[in-house]
Amino acid sequence: MSHADGSPTGVIHNIGYRGYDGERLTRRAITLGLYTHSLRGAFGLGRAARSKVVPIGMFVVLLLPAVVLAVVAVVGANMGQLDAPVVPYTRYAMIMQAALAIFVAVAAPQAVSLDLRFHSLPLYLARPLERVDYVRAKLAAMTTAVLILLAVPLVVLYLGSLAAGFDAGRESVDVAQALLGAVLFSAVLASLSVLIASFTSRRGFGIAAIVTVLALSYSIVSSLQGVVAFDADNSAAAGWIGLFSPMTLVDGVQVWAFGVTASTPAGPPSDLAGLVFLVVTLGVVALTYWALTRRYRKVKV
């Protein structure tokens, strides 16, 4: 064996490894990478076929009624029966909330519980990635995923209305409002579900807990609102009850801000109440972010 000139001679084992002294990715680039990875994971992209069944299935469940409604709008307008969409854009999320709940319940534990279970967090943190970056990336990915899930059917409905020849200006304003509402829906749903999922490393338990919180709170609030609004004839009190479930909370903001009809027996009773709904919505998102950063400060490496 002959040594290349200039190589150290006293070294016993030199099998030619070289250090890397090129450019390294920054903290931001890694966060962005984690974000895209989590977003793709939420829809099962880059994972086994059976992991795609639920997300894609829920996507189809959410999209199908929108396609049917768009066709109905076009046919109805041609027959001179319709001059506005059958279902207002802002109500779509409320009507399809069971599918939304199942989607976030499956996607959020997928995003965070498995990292806890298989202790992958130390591997992430071995890079120049801070704990808070992890939280931000996961939250942003989940919010984007829910937003995609909600926005695509809304756009389909909107295209249907345009094709039907409804008043384009009015429809554009309506769909813009619904998209703003969808941003709030996705922020609230994503942050709550990620927070719940971050407390368990068992996927099944996380799924059950998230759906229990979302479905049970909605079912309790809407039936309580029904009793109070119709039997006690007290729609103001019924409106305030809407604060206590994530879906009715955001719906209340839509009702107040855009003047649309509520999907539940009662919306916020006054402008002040509407403002409170908005503040609580933003508060929930901020509070869950704070709670998540605290939670992840304690995860052992």
Partner 1 sequence: MNRTIVRLTAQGMLGGRRLWLLGALALLLVVIAVATRLLAPVSEADAAALLRAVAFSTFLPLFGLIVGTGAIAPEIDDGSIVHLLAKPVSRHTIVQSKLLVAVGAVVALAVVPTMLAAAVLGAGPRTVLAFGAGALAAGAVYSVLFLLLTIVTRHAVIIGLVYALIWESLVGSFVPGARNLSVQQWALSVTESIAPSGLVTADVGLGLAYGLIVGGFVAATWYAGSRLNALTLTSEE
Binding region for partner 1 (CB under 8 A)? 47-48, 50-51, 54, 61, 98-99, 101-102, 105-106, 202-205, 207-208, 211-212, 215-216, 219-220, 222-224, 226-228, 231-232, 234, 237
**Phi, psi dihedrals of residue 43, rounded to the nearest 5°:** -100, 5
What is the DSSP code string of 148-159?
HHHHHHHHHHHH
What is the closest distance, in whole angstroms, from the C-beta atom of residue 98 to partner 1 in the complex? 4
From the CA atom positions of the chain, what is the Rg in Å? 24
**In terms of CB distance, is 232 or 272 closer to partner 1?**
232
- The Cα angle at residue 250 between residues 245 and 254, in degrees rounded to 5: 145
Task: Please state the closest distance from residue 215 (CB atom) to partner 1, in A.
Answer: 5
Q: For partner 1, which is the closer residue by CB, 230 or 290?
A: 230
Give whichever of 207 and 292 is closer to partner 1, judged by the CB atom: 207
Cβ 177 vs Cβ 89: under 8 Å: yes
Quote the Cα angle for 286-291-294, to 5°.
130
Residue identified by tokens 């998209």 is: 179
- The residue among 128 and 226 lying less far from partner 1, judged by its C-beta, is 226
Closest approach, Cβ 80 to partner 1, in A, equals 27
Q: What is the rounded CA–CA span in Å between residue 201 and residue 17?
A: 39
Minimum CB distance to partner 1, residue 217 (Å): 9
What is the C-alpha to C-alpha distance for residues 250 and 243, in angstroms, rounded to an integer?
Answer: 9
Distance of closest approach, residue 48 Cβ to partner 1, in angstroms: 5
Residue whose CB is less far from partner 1, 48 or 126:
48
Residue 13: CB minimum distance to partner 1, A? 38
Copy the structure tokens of residue 83.
């001059």
* One-letter identity of residue 228: V
Which of 164, 209 has the CB closer to partner 1? 209
Q: At what angle do helices 131-164 and 49-78 cross, to 10 degrees?
A: 30
